Structure 1
Amino acid sequence: MGTIIDVIAFVITLVALLAAVGHAGYLALLSSTARKRPGGEPAARFARRRAPVAGTALGLGLLAVLLSLGGVGTDVFAILLGGGVGMGSMKALRSTQSDFRGGRY
């Protein structure tokens, strides 16, 4: 039973970490591109304003992956933390994309 929970916890936390990396990567690409273009300062400010959320999610996702390597008790906590990080990162990524594409920055 413990091995099954270990595998489930690792997979959930790994997916959550990938979602957090995706959001952080999107902001990094947006910021890098905006800095290279003339008149891209508003987009760069927009990306910098969203960066702390992405960094926090990335750190919590990494913590969840590390917790998933422990026993059954920490696996349950890692699943809950990873699930929250994954859902939060996906929501933040969608919000970032819709706000940027909608011109609300």
Structure 2
Amino acid sequence: MVALVAFLVTLAAVLAAAGHAGYLAMLSSAAKKRAGGQPAADFAKKRFPIAGVGLGVTLLAFLIAAGGGVGADIFAMILGAGGGLGSLKALQTSQSRFRNGQY
């Protein structure tokens, strides 16, 4: 039962982190195609390391959950939840910058 919960938590975390990285990739691509989009492309370029770390942490948690016992599953859930929540917050911050017209 713990393994199933760990799998679901870490899977959700990986999806959140991948969503943040994907959002930045789409933002960067769109900004490069528009005249005057360089500030947005620069912003996305600065945020890519944050998205990469978040994705790496959540993937590590997913791998730990896939191969461990109860103790490893609990550690993977904590690690995955932290990485997923951090990625979700970073995604919301990135989106709010562009909704408010700051770039």
Match of 1:36 in 2: 33
Alignment partner of 1:52 is 2:49: yes
Cα RMSD after superposing both structures: 0.9
Number of corresponding residues = 102
> What TM-score, normalized by structure 2, do the two folds share?
0.94
C-alpha deviation, 1:78, in angstroms: 0.2
Question: Pick from 79, 94, 97: which aligns with 1:99?
Answer: 97
Provide runs of 4+ in structure 1 moved above 6 Å. Answer: none
Q: Distance in 2 between matches of 1:34 and 1:64?
A: 33
Structure 2, unmatched stretches of 5+, are: none
Match of 2:83 in 1: 85
Matched to 1:49, the amino acid is K
Structure 1, unmatched stretches of 5+, are: none
Match of 1:22 in 2: 19
Q: Distance in 2 between matches of 1:81 and 1:43?
A: 31
Q: Distance in 2 between matches of 1:46 and 1:90?
A: 17
> What TM-score, normalized by structure 1, do the two folds share?
0.93
